[in-house]
Structure 1
Amino acid sequence: MLLLINAILIFWISTVGVQAFSYCVFPKINHGIIYGKEYDEKPSLITVGEIYYYSCEYNFTSPSRSFWTRIICTEEGWSPTPKCLRLCFFPSVENGHSASSGQTHLEGDTVQIICDVGYSLPGNSDTISCLEDGWSSPPKCSSTKSTQYCGPPPSISNGDITSFPLSVYPPGSTVQYRCQSFYELRGSIDVICRNGQWSEPPKCIDACIISEGNMNKNNIQLRNKDIKKLYVKTGDFVEFDCKWPHRAKTSMQSLRVLCHEGKFEYPMCE
C-alpha cells in the first residue's frame, strides 16, 4: 500500500514539474522587436516548441549579431536568451591612440587607451567601456596641466563679487561673493577657476518683507515699535502683538514667527 502511495506521489510531482515549465512568458526585450507566427497578437504565454524571431533597434544587436535572431521556447525558457546589446563605434583617440580605433564594440567590452605624454583620461583611467547608452567617457585624452582661462564670474541674483570683475581669469583664480542687505548667503563664499570653468557660485536667499497692509488686515503690529526696518533675514524671528482691543486667535506663541527663505505666516488677532 505504501509503495502504491509513493508511486502516485512521484507521478503527481513529475506531472506538476512538467506543467510548471510547459510555457514561456512572452519576451520583452529592451531595444528589440518580437516577430512570431501571429504578428498582430502577443499572447502572454507561449507553448514549448514555438519559434519566434526578434530584431534590434539601430545601434543595437543580438549576441549573434544577426539581423533576425531565432529563439525557441523550451522547458528551461527561451533559447538563446533574447537580448539586444549596444554597438559602440570607437573613433580615433584625441591626444592618444588605441588598437581599437575604427572598430565597433559590443556592450560590455572594455577598450584600452594610451594617452600621449602630458595627457590622461578622466580620473587617470586607461580604459573606457561600452555601456547601454554609449561609451562610459569620450575617447579623449586631456592635458594634465591646466592652461584654460575663465571668463567673468557667474552672476547671482541679489548678490555680486567683492572685487572688480575682469574679462579673463587665469587658472586657480578665486573670487568672493556677498549678498545684498537682508539676504542670506548659501553655499561657498569662494568660487574657483578650474579647467576653464568656475565652481558653483553661492545663492542669496530672499529676505522676508513685512507688509503693513497685512499687519492691519490681521489686527497685528510689531512688538518692538522702534523697529523701522521692514526686512528680516532668513532664520530670524519676527515678534508681533495684537492691536488693542484684539486678542490672539490661537496661542500667544503664534505671535512669534520664523522667516524662511523669504516667507513667513502672519499671525492673526480677532
Structure 2
Amino acid sequence: STNFFLWLLFFWVFCLFWFYTPCDLPQIENGNLAQYYYSFKRYYFPMHKGKKLSYSCMVGYTTESGTQDGRITCTAKGWSPVPRCYRRCTKPLLENGSFYSTEMDFKIHEKLQYQCNPGYHTPSGATEDTVQCQPQGWSFQPSCIKKLGKSCQVPRLEHGSYSGAAQEVRLNGTLRYRCQHGYRSAAGSASDTALCLAHGWELPPSCTSMSSSLVNQACLILPFGMGMYFLRGIKSKICSKVLLSLWYFSELYSFPRLYLF
C-alpha cells in the first residue's frame, strides 16, 4: 500500500506540473503588454497553461511574422512563441546601383533586390542580388564594385600590323605591332608594344602618319635663302606671339632639326 500512495503522490505532482505550470509576466524588449497587466500584475500572474496573451511592439519594431502585434500562449515550457520584437530594416545606401523597391523600411525576413549599373557587379560577380532583413540587420551590405577585365580585345589597327593573330590578350600581357612606312606609334616608334591592364590598354595600339600634321610642303624663300616648312594650322598669318614648329635645315644641309619658337 505504501508503494501505491507513493505512485499516487507522484501522479498528482506530475498532473499539477503538467496542467498548472504557471507563466510569469513576460519581459519583452522593445515591446509591451496592455498597461493593466502591469498595474494588476499580482491579479493576472502567474498565468496557467493554455492562457493566451497579446503584446505590441514599439514603433520601428515588428514581431517575427512582421506584424505590429503578437499573441503568445502559456505552455508547460513557458510562453510560446517567445515574445520578441525586431527592429525594422531601413533601406541601406548603395553606390553605383539601384533598388527595385521604393520602400524605405522593411520588416523582419523581408527581402530587397538591387541591381548594379553597367560596368559594375556584386561581390559574387553577378549584375544583381538580394538582401534580407534579419534580427541583426541586413543579411549583408549591398554593394556594386567596378568590373576588372581579365583580358583586352585586340583593336583594329589602321596602317599597321600585329606580330600574331590573337583576338585578345590576357591581363598584364603585351601586344607587339609594327606600323607601315611613313607611320609611327603614339610613342614615335616604327614598332611598339601595348600593355593590357585591368581597365584596358595602357596605350592603345595606333599608327599615325608622320606627315599628317603638315598642311603643305611649300618652301618659303627667306632673306638668307634657307628653306623652311611650317606645321598644320599655320596657313597665311604668322604672328610673333604664336608658338610655331618649324623644320629648319642646318647650314650644312645635312639633316633637318626641329625648332620651337
For Structure 1 versus Structure 2, the TM-score category normalised by the shorter chain is: 0.3 to 0.5
Structure exhibiting the larger radius of gyration computed from Cα positions:
2
Could you state the TM-score of these two structures normalised by the residue count of structure 1?
Answer: 0.40
Could you state the TM-score of these two structures normalised by the residue count of structure 2?
Answer: 0.41
